[in-house]
Amino acid sequence: MIRKLLLATNNRGKVREYHSLLKDIPLRLVSMADEGIMTVVEETGNSFTENAGLKAKTIAAESRLLTLADDSGLEVDALGGEPGVLSARYAGEGATDAEKVNYLLSRMKNIPEGNRSAQFCCVIAVAEPDGEIEYFTGECRGVITLESYGTNGFGYDPVFFIPELGKTMAELSSEEKNSISHRARAAEKVVEALLKKYSK
């Protein structure tokens, strides 16, 4: 019987992305909805690693399944690494993507074009039900634009410009994004580790 890997997220977009990113692993991907798990883990950690680990360990212990969780966000150099772990809540609880983007741009309105470097960071945690856990990281460097461009993606993608591609993250196709994003780079390491561990 093929072993399951539970994706510890209720974000359907993220579940779809992982089905694409992890298509080569010898495990069957299942979502929390598939397994009837309703638990919401509070992200109380001070780093992406702490939050990813917290989610993966909690859901692995509850489900008794190998569990993958991630935490990711945007770090702007000129803002001392903000919004960081607060990326989703930077403009307040329940803020829309557009509100988050506008809040970030308002915080950066006096920062000149040459000083707007930033990075998207992702930490993926893969936890066994017994508490054993591994971490995988990925990052993508870019520059914060002065206004939004593009309609794909989510979050801060419309203002995250990738110089070598000449586009914002929101102007990329899903295929392009899944080849260079912070999550894609971390997921690549996950695939490598799981193939090594579970391939016959």
Any idea which residues carry the catalytic annotation? 71
Q: How far apart are CA 63 and CA 57, in angstroms?
A: 10
CA distance 118 to 9: 25
In the block, tokens 């983007």 appear at 101
CB 5 within 8 Å of CB 14: no
Please say whether the beta carbons of 91 and 17 come within 8 A: no
**Rounded CA separation 76/11 (Å):** 24
Query: What does residue 7 show for φ and ψ, rounded to 5 degrees?
Result: -90, 110
